[in-house]
Amino acid sequence: MSERSPQKNQASDRVSESASGGVAAGGARPSRRRRWRGVKDGASKAIVSAGGISVIVALGLIFVYLLIEVVPLFAPASASEAASYPAPGPGEAKTLHIATERHLEYGVRFTDDGAVTFFETTTETTTGAVKRRIDLPIPEGVTITSFAAGEPRSRLVGLGLSDGTILLVRHTYEEVHDPEVGRIIHPDIEVLFGDGPVEGDGEGRAIVTLGVQEIRAGRFSGSICAAIATDDGRLRLITYQVRQTLFGDRTVERDAHDLDPPEAAITRIMVSMTMRDLVVGDDTGRLHAYDISTRSEAHRTDTRRVVSRRTAEAFEHDTDEDATVTALAYLLGTESIIVGGSDGTVHQFFLVRDDDNVRRIRHVRSFPRHAAPVTTIVPEYYRKGFLTADESGVVNLHYATSHRTLLTRQLADGAVRHAAIAPRNNALLLVDEHEQCSFHGLRNPHPQTSLHALWQPVWYEGYGEPEYRWESSSATDEFEPKFSLVPLTLGTLKAAFYAMLFATPLAIMGAVYSAYFMSPKMRGLVKPSIEIMEALPTVILGFLAGLWFAPFVENHLPAVFSVLLVMPAGMLAFGLLWTKMPPRIGNMVTGGWEAAALIPVVLLLGGLCVWLSPMLEVLFFDGDMRQWFTDRGITYDQRNALVVGVAMGFAVIPTIFSMTEDAIFNVPRHLTQGSLALGATPWQTMCRIVILTASPGVFSAVMIGLGRAVGETMIVLMATGNSPVTNFNMFEGMRTLSANIAVEMPETEVGGTHYRILFLSALVLFAMTFIVNTVAEVVRQRLRRTYASL
C-alpha cells in the first residue's frame, strides 16, 4: 500500500479547509432559502384553502338565494281587518250583492228595495261613506223576487221581478285623470237593452230563481243568456242577442225555450260564459246539467247528487242524504263548479265528456269542511281561487288547481251573507246577517303552488283525468296555469339518459384503446383532438343537430337502425379478416396503428347503410318508416330524444374520454408488467387489473359527464321540440329544467308565481347535480379503498 505524497496531503488539507470554511460562510443562505420556501408554501396553501372555502361559500349562498326566492311560494294567505261599519245605504233594506272596483276606492251594494249604493270602502278619515245612490228603473208595484250576478269581470247583474220581467244592469267605473287631484273615479249604473226591464217569462209569472251570463262578440254586438225558474215550476232559457245593422242601428232579439225542470225545487241556476252549459241546483242536494249549445234542442244530460259527507266514491252513486245545496258558483272561465252544502261540505265538479260524447258531472276534489252550513261562494277575478263562508262567520280561502286552503279565519260575528274579493285579490268585503259590513286587507300572492300540484297528477279543467302538465301561459285570461315539474324533471333525466347511453360506451372504450393499446405517436394525435372537441360551443352542436342532423335522421330512419347492426358486425368481420391476413401484409401496419385501418371500414359501412336506407324503407316499412311508426301508435317528432342523445353525447364524450384515459394511463406499470409476466394476455390484464385499478377515475369521469348532461341547456333548447311530455319515448322530444328556465325566464314577472317556480326548477336542478356528485364521490372513495392494495 503506497503512501500519499506530501504534496497531495497538503492539497487535500487545503480542499478540506476550503470546503469547511465555505459551508460555514454560506450557512445562512440555505436557511434563508428554506424560510422563503416555507413562506411560498404557506401562501400557496392559504390561497388554495381560501379558494376552496370560497367555492363552498359561493355554493351555499346560491342555495340560500334560491331558497329565499322559493319559500314564499308555500306561504299561507293572511287577512287583516281595516274597517267595520254598518252596510251603507238604506237601513231597512237587505243586501243582494256587493262588489268593489280595482282601486278599492269604491264599493257597490245592491239592496232588495231596488237601490244601488256606491260607497267608500275605507279611508283615513271615514269608512263606508255613501258617495252616490241610484234607484233602479223598476216599475211601481213590482218587487224584486230573485237576483243573479254574471262572471265577475263582466260586472253584470240581473234582477228577476215579480211581473216576470228581468232588469239587466252593469255597474261601471269611469276613470279620469286630473293633473291637480290625480285619479278621479265616476261610478255609475248602465241599464242594458233600453231604460228598464226586458221581457223574461212572457206569461207574467214571478221569477223565483235567476241565472245570467254575458258573452261579448265584437265591439257593439254580443249576447246575454238568462235562465229563469218561475213560481209555477217552469224552467226557461232566454237569449238576448244584440244585432247591429249597416246603418248603425242596434236591435235586441229575444229567443226563449222551455227546458225540462227537475222534480225538486230549484235553488240555484248558473249559465256558462260559452253558452254551452246550464247548471241547476235543487233543494235535495242534486245538480242537473243541461246542454244548451243548440238552444232549440237544449236538454238535460246528467243529474248527480253533489252534497255528501262521504268520500269521493259517494259521488259515483246517488244517495238519500238530507243535505241541500246552499251555495253554487262557477270559477273563472265557468268550467269548474263549486258546490257548498248545508252540511258544510265544499266540493269541486267538472262537466267531462264520456265515451258517448255527453258531458257528465264528475267529482274532482273536496275541500276542508265548514262546521256550519255554507252561505256564500265567491270566485276570484283572474285566478282559479275562491272564498267560502258559513253561518258562523268563518271564511275559508281556497285555490282549486293546487288543492290548497290558504286561509281559515273568523271574520264576522254572524253568518256571512255576501262577500266580494277585490279584482286584484288584495282585499275582502263582507256583509253579515246583521247588515254589518267589514273590509279586510288580503295578502295571497302565490296560491297556485303546492307540493301536490308540483309533483302529483292534477285534474285540470278540460281534461278527462288527472295528468302531469306544464303550461305556464296562454292567450286567454281564463287559462288555468299548469306548473307540474314532473315533465321537466323527467325530460332532464330523459335527455341525460340517452346522451350517456350514446357517449359512455364510446368514450370509455376509446379511452381504453387509446391509453393501453394505441401507439404513443397516434395517441399524441387522438387525445388532443378529442379534448379540443370540448371547446366546441354547444350552441353550434345544437344548431347542427336541429337544422341538419334531425332532418337527416327523419329522412334516413332505416339507416339509423341498420348502423346499429351493420357497424359492429362489419368491424368484427374486419377484425377476424385481419387475423387471417398473411404476416407480410399485417406487418405493414405498425403495432398500435391498427385502428387507422378501421377508418375506411367505418366510413364505408356508414355510407352503405345510408345508400340502402330507401330500399329498406320500401321493403320493410311500406315506403315510409315514420308513417309506419304512427300506424302502430308510436309518436315520432323530428327533433326528438334520439337526436338530442347523439348531439349531447358528442358534447359529453370529451369529458369522459379525457378523464378515463388519464386514469387508465396512470395505472402503475408494475401491475400490468407483473400480470403479463404471469402469462395473462393484454386483454385479460386490461379487464382484470387495469380497469379495476382505474375504476375510481372511470366512475368519476362518468359522473362528471352525467352532471354535464343534466345541466346542458343550448343543445336541448335547439335540438328538441321543447314539448314537456311525460314519457321516455326516444322518438319524442322533451323539455328539460335548464332549457325551460332559459326559455321562460325573460317573459316572467319578477316576484310572480311563474318567476319563483322557475327558481324552484333551478333549485331542483341544483339538488340533482349535488346528489349526483355526492354519490359519485362516495362511490369513488369506496372504490379507491377497495383497490388501493393493488
Q: Would you say residue 316 has pLDDT above 50?
A: no
How far is it, in rounded angstroms, from Cα 191 to Cα 255?
20
**Distance separating alpha carbons of residues 301 and 395, to the nearest angstrom:** 34
- AA identity, residue 237: L
Per-residue model confidence as pLDDT tens digits over 472-498: 887 777 889 999 999 999 999 999 999
* Res 125: pLDDT: 63
| pLDDT recorded at residue 593 | 79
Q: Based on the number of CB atoms within 10 Å of its own CB, is 437 exposed (0-12), middle (13-18) or buried (19 or more)?
A: buried
What confidence tens digit (pLDDT) does each residue in 171-181 have?
A: 999 999 888 88
To the nearest 10 degrees (0 to 180), the angle between helices 691-711 and 753-786 is 180
Q: Amino acid identity of 461?
A: E
Residues composing the chain: 790
Average pLDDT of every residue of the chain: 87
Which are the contacts of 611, defined by CB distance < 8 A and separation ≥ 6? none
- pLDDT-derived band of residue 220, with 50, 70 and 90 as boundaries? very low
Per-residue pLDDT of 92-104, as tens digits, reads: 889 999 999 999 9
The answer to whether 232 and 225 are in contact (CB under 8 A) is no
Helices (H) and strands (E) in the chain, counts: 18, 31
Residue type (1 letter), 81: E
CA terminus-to-terminus distance, the chain: 54
Taking alpha carbons only, the member of 412, 423, 406, 351 closest to residue 376 is 412
Closest by alpha carbon to 438, among 462, 455, 420, 452? 420
Chain centre distance of CA 318: 37
Cα separation, 415 vs 389, in Å, equals 8
**What pLDDT sits at residue 789?**
64
> 468 vs 352, 496, 497, CA distance in Å?
18, 20, 21
Q: What was the pLDDT predicted at 29? A: 64
Three cell numbers, residue 388: 267560502
Reported confidence tier of residue 123, pLDDT bands at 50, 70, 90: low
Which residues have C-beta within 8 Å of that of residue 492, sequence separation ≥ 6? 710, 734, 736, 737, 738, 765, 768
pLDDT tens string 499-554? 999 999 999 999 998 888 888 888 888 889 998 888 888 899 999 999 999 999 99
- 712-761, pLDDT tens digit by residue? 888 999 988 888 988 888 999 899 999 999 999 988 889 999 999 999 99
Q: What is the pLDDT of residue 1?
A: 41
Nine-digit cell at 319?
Answer: 244517495
Identify any residues that bridge with 279 across adjacent strands, giving them in sequence order.
270, 289
Residue 496 sits at φ, ψ, to 5 deg, of -65, -40
> What is the structure's pLDDT at 315?
45
- Judge whether 633 and 582 are in contact, CB under 8 Å: no
pLDDT of the residue at 28: 56
In b/e form, how buried is each residue of 282-309, taking b as 16+ CB within 10 angstroms?
bebbbbbbbbbeeeeebebbbbbbbbbe
Alpha carbon of residue 174 to chain centroid: 38
179 alpha carbon, distance to own chain's centre:
44
Under 8 Å between Cβ of 166 and 204: no
